[in-house]
Structure 1
Amino acid sequence: MKGLNLLKYTLPGEQPINLILSEKERGKLFLGNLDCLINQQILETNNINCILSICTEEKIIVGPKYQQIYLDIHDNMNSQISKVFERSYLFIENALKSQQNVLIHCAAGISRSATLVLAYLMKTYQYTLEQALRFLKQKRPYVRPNPGFLLQLLDYENMLHGCITSILGPELTPFDIQRDPQYKPQPKVELRKSLPLKQVSGPSPVARVERKTHTEKLTRVSQSISTFQPKAFKS
């Protein structure tokens, strides 16, 4: 972006902001980092009206011109980000329905804010976590929710669909998310390249048979999250 200086939170080769959703007769959804608030030219250029800040590094209040909410969540794997899924969903959905442009940001636009956008995609379009990640990485390739957030999103998938079918390979996350050895995922569902997104189907009725098994599995995983040691996939 020309004319933008002092991008403190944007690494070389990255962008401070990316357009995620732009649907007819609705507002636009953007995902970005804290530079969007430090350099408000970014907000003006993208005609952003509403801001969801999920950030603890710097608290920047942009003023009465914008509708802004602040969620105080740290980017560590023990943070219970799922407790704000519903609040963030309502904020995003109400703004988009009112044809307002929305920015979701954290410090880097990689983990916390990406997790909230993933949860929004999963609930709005009946995506699995895998489908939501594939779509989001097309828009902002460097998104990388931490392992604790991924486990909470898998739990959310189970809550929304009654089972888990996602396969999180190294092309989607650098973390090896440990699973129950007896867990047998359903065949991979590829994200359709041609939108609209709302045509993506949910899980089949057969997949819902495993509800109890997956619920018990995620309960065990959630209980051990404090001692979970992520490891990178082997190249």
Structure 2
Amino acid sequence: MSHKNAIVLPWLFIGDKKCARDRQWLRSLNIRYVVNTTPPRTEGGVTNFFEKDSDLEYLRVPLRDLQSEALAPRLPPAMAFLERARIREDGAVLVHCNEGKSRSCAVICAYLIQTHGLQLEQALRAVRRARPQAMPNDAFLAQLTKLDKHSTVGDEAAAAAAAAA
């Protein structure tokens, strides 16, 4: 099975449940970390297919693709998990949801806004290059817009550049 264009960053991939269940694909990309952005299986979420494998580490970020779902309370563990995986440099990360459209896209956009200083439009473009059908639901978009406006990463970088000049 081929999951083309799933690369957001060299170490960060976006996908759906089919990607998450394709062990050969995960291995071929050295994916060692998986962020499952669905509720627990008992509540209709996607299974952590290889949770018992010692070479994969999972984080479940239990989001429902609903207009009433709040992203902010769920983001800190996801951001920490992604940063830890990035710093370790010992494997790539797959962020997935059921269809690879809304929840996984929202979490990756939040990460790009918070840690890379991208504006929401830039973050969405980066994710959609990897997965053209990706698009957070309207409520997630509104929350990401607020996150973008409150992000100080870009401001800090601009201030540091101005101070160095």
The TM-score range, normalised by the shorter chain, is 0.7 to 0.9
Query: Are residues 1:18 and 2:1 paired?
Result: no
Greater helix fraction, Structure 1 or Structure 2: 2
Shift of 1:48: 0.6
Shift of 1:124: 1.5
Residue 85 of structure 2 is aligned with which of 92, 95, 98?
95
CA distance in 2: counterparts of 1:72 and 1:61, whole angstroms: 16
- In structure 2, what is the equivalent of residue 43 of structure 1? 26
Residues 114 and 54 (structure 1), Cα distance of their counterparts in 2 relative to 1, 3 Å cut: same
CA distance in 1: counterparts of 2:26 and 2:70, whole angstroms: 29
Shift of 1:81: 1.8
CA distance in 2: counterparts of 1:140 and 1:61, whole angstroms: 22
Identity among equivalent pairs (%): 27
How many pairs were matched up? 150
More relative contact order in 1 or in 2 (CA 8 Å, sep 6+)?
Answer: 2
Shift of 1:96: 1.1
Contact 2:113 2:123 in 1 (8 A): yes
- In structure 2, what is the equivalent of residue 85 of structure 1? 75
- In structure 1, what is the equivalent of residue 139 of structure 2? 148
Contact 1:118 1:132 in 2 (8 A): yes
CA distance in 1: counterparts of 2:148 and 2:71, whole angstroms: 14
Which runs of at least 4 in structure 1 moved beyond 4 Å after TM superposition? Answer: 201-205
Residue 12 of structure 2 is aligned with which of 9, 20, 29?
29
Deviations 1:31-81 (A, max 9, x none): 111112322122112111111111133223412221111122111111112
CA distance in 2: counterparts of 1:32 and 1:134, whole angstroms: 16
User: Unaligned 5+ residue runs, structure 2?
Assistant: 40-44, 160-165
Question: Partner letter of residue 58 of structure 1?
Answer: V
TM-score (norm 1): 0.58
Residues 41 and 95 (structure 1), Cα distance of their counterparts in 2 relative to 1, 3 Å cut: same
CA distance in 1: counterparts of 2:100 and 2:155, whole angstroms: 28
- In structure 2, what is the equivalent of residue 179 of structure 1? none
| SS in structure 2 of the partner of residue 72 of structure 1 | coil
Q: How well do the aligned residues superpose, as a CA RMSD in angstroms?
A: 2.3
- In structure 1, what is the equivalent of residue 60 of structure 2? 70
- In structure 2, what is the equivalent of residue 7 of structure 1? none
| SS in structure 2 of the partner of residue 124 of structure 1 | helix
Query: Which structure has the larger Rg?
Result: 1
Where does 1:1-235 land on structure 2 (aligned, <5 Å)? Answer: 1=1, 15=3, 18-22=6-10, 28-56=11-39, 57-62=45-50, 63=52, 64-99=54-89, 100-161=91-152
Question: Partner letter of residue 69 of structure 2?
Answer: S
Shift of 1:202: 5.0
CA distance in 1: counterparts of 2:147 and 2:118, whole angstroms: 11
TM-score (norm 2): 0.81
| SS in structure 2 of the partner of residue 49 of structure 1 | strand
CA distance in 2: counterparts of 1:79 and 1:135, whole angstroms: 24
Shift of 1:94: 0.7
